[in-house]
Chain A
Amino acid sequence: MTLQQDIKADTWTVAGRTFTSRLIVGTGKYKSFEENAAAVEASGAEIVTVAVRRVNIADPNQPMLTDFIDPKKVTYLPNTAGCFTAEEAIRTLRLAREAGGWNLVKLEVLGEAKTLYPDMRETLRATEQLVKEGFEPMVYCVDDPIAAKQLEEAGAVAIMPLGAPIGSGLGIQNRVTIRLIVEGAKVPVLVDAGVGTASDAAVAMELGCDGVLMNTAIAEAKESVLMARAMKSAVEAGRLSYLAGRMGKRRYADPSSPLAGLI
């Protein structure tokens, strides 16, 4: 195979759906729907996360996300952001399934507002129930290989450990645990949350993750559309770097030019 074919064939599959882009982007925090749509376009993302919220009864004709980002062209991944119990999350996703008509969802059950760290006991409980009800949950979780294993056993279709707290932009805090999760999982692993800049996304991909999910890093960049494009490149570069297999590290220098034939 040529390099071009190699790159083209590098798809990933979650719950039977195959995607080329390994970048999933959120649709929160944008200044306008137009900017949001342009950023999604620039990112090349084929999946976007969305939240489920009450329709504003007082003004039901406000513009809607679906008017700007076409759910027929981009896969909507409904999330449970803001849910702090398994019951709230399940209720939200039942509504999401009815609104969207699909089973692929993102589960997150938060433990506290300050850190937005996931409550893994509730997350595991919700995963089990959702799987029973026919959902295909991609699950946001702590960067803990044991928790990841338990979620996979419960039927999570993807494991999505945090790189750092949601919206913090601190980058991948624990490369060791992310790598251990990747090595142990039979389902796709995506870093979800914590990416701040393009190099963070590349790090996630170099660790062997199947993809990266981010929102704030793009939405709060000074030029969000430009950052979306940067993230696309970073995810691709990190993935290719992982596939290529990096050189070993040395403690000291090793010259690149031959020592023989020196004048």
Chain B
Amino acid sequence: MAETVQEMIRVRVNGGPKLVPPGLTIVQLLTEIGIDPKKVAVEQNLEIVPRSTLDSVGVNDGDSFEIVHFVGGG
């Protein structure tokens, strides 16, 4: 990314606020957070984002994401 001052956009990830640069795809958002996209499922504004489109769907100002994975359970 160029060294210009960019306007950040505001999103919510797993219930918390986060500022990210504009123009990211969801895969880039996950990478920025440090998450392996292969190990999670993503919901964007209550809609499932199919795994196959994670690298094409964009992140928009005001989006709300849920990023989940499998944990121990009965």
Contacts and interface: CB of A to CB of B under 8 A. Distances in A.
Interface of A: 26-30, 33, 36, 49-55, 57, 60-61, 64-66, 71, 76, 78-79, 81, 91, 94-101, 166-167, 193, 214-216
B74 A215 contact: yes
Nearest to A68: B72
Name the interface size band of chain B: 20 to 34
B14 interface: yes
A98 B72 contact: no
Given A50-B70, A99-B69, 6 more contacts: A52-B71, A65-B72, A66-B39, A98-B41, A100-B70, A215-B73
B40 A50 contact: no
Contacts of A28: 72-74
B13 interface: yes
Contacts of A54: 14-15, 66-68
B40 A216 contact: no
Contact of A51 (B18, B40, B46, B72): B72
Contacts of A53: 68-69, 71
Interface string B7-47: 00000011110100000000000000111000111110010
B50 interface: yes
30 contacts: A27-B72, A33-B72, A36-B72, A50-B73, A51-B70, A51-B73, A52-B71, A53-B68, A54-B15, A54-B66, A54-B67, A55-B35, A55-B69, A57-B13, A57-B14, A57-B67, A64-B39, A64-B70, A66-B69, A76-B70, A79-B73, A79-B74, A91-B43, A94-B48, A98-B49, A98-B51, A99-B41, A167-B74, A193-B74, A215-B73
Contact of B68 (A49, A71, A95, A214): A95
B73 A55 contact: no
- Tell me the interface secondary structure of chain A in the complex: mixed
B30 to A, nearest CB: 9
A60 B34 contact: yes
Given A54-B68, A95-B41, A95-B68, A61 B73 contact: no
B50 A166 contact: no
B35 A26 contact: no
A78 B14 CA distance: 20
B39 A49 contact: no
A157 to B, nearest CB: 19
A215 B71 CA distance: 14
A65 B73 CA distance: 10
B13 to A, nearest CB: 6
